[in-house]
Amino acid sequence: MNPEDLSRLIAELFLTIKMLSGYPPPAQLPEVHFVSLQELQDVACKGRSCKVKALYHPVKGVMINENLDVLNDVYARSVLMHELVHHLQHVNNKFADEERACQRWQAREIEAYEVQHKYLKSRNMTQSFIALDSLPITCIE
């Protein structure tokens, strides 16, 4: 993927996130790495097979499945947007006051899915990819 096209897309997605959530665009864009599904699973799922499409790491940035076409596919863009929301949560210390790690993770995921859902709806996605009321985000502590 052309780095200029990716930078332009990321800047556009941050402006959309601002409209949907109020987060201002960050001073510095996170790194975005297109990686294999195996590499994602190694990081996110300790090498086990899982349904991970992308993830955000505060130091490494966004890792996204190399098979997702973020330039031409609305759903793929929404996956990238979801991870960019996590970047904004991190740089703005959102939910940092939540004492329990699981509750903090849950709040971050719910917010990122809500922004992703709004984006998909704004793009007239007729197929619902995300059922916000049935997200598998539960804490067992």
- Candidates 106, 94, 102, 62; CA nearest to 81 is 62
**Pure H helices in 66-131:** 74-91, 101-122
Write out pLDDT tens, residues 44-87.
888 788 889 999 999 999 999 999 999 999 999 999 999 999 99
The token duo for 71 is 């330039």
- Write the DSSP symbol of residue 133: G
Domains and CATH numbers, the chain: 3-133 (1.10.10)
Report the candidate in 81, 63, 90, 66 with the shortest Cα–Cα distance to residue 118: 81
Cα angle 69, 133, 110 (rounded to 5 degrees) comes to 60
Rounded distance between C-alpha atoms, residue 75 and residue 127, angstroms = 10
Separation between Cα atoms, residue 29 and residue 13, nearest integer Å:
11
Tell me the pTM: 0.90
Task: For residue range 83-129, list pLDDT tens digits in order.
Answer: 999 999 999 999 988 888 888 888 999 999 999 999 999 998 865 55
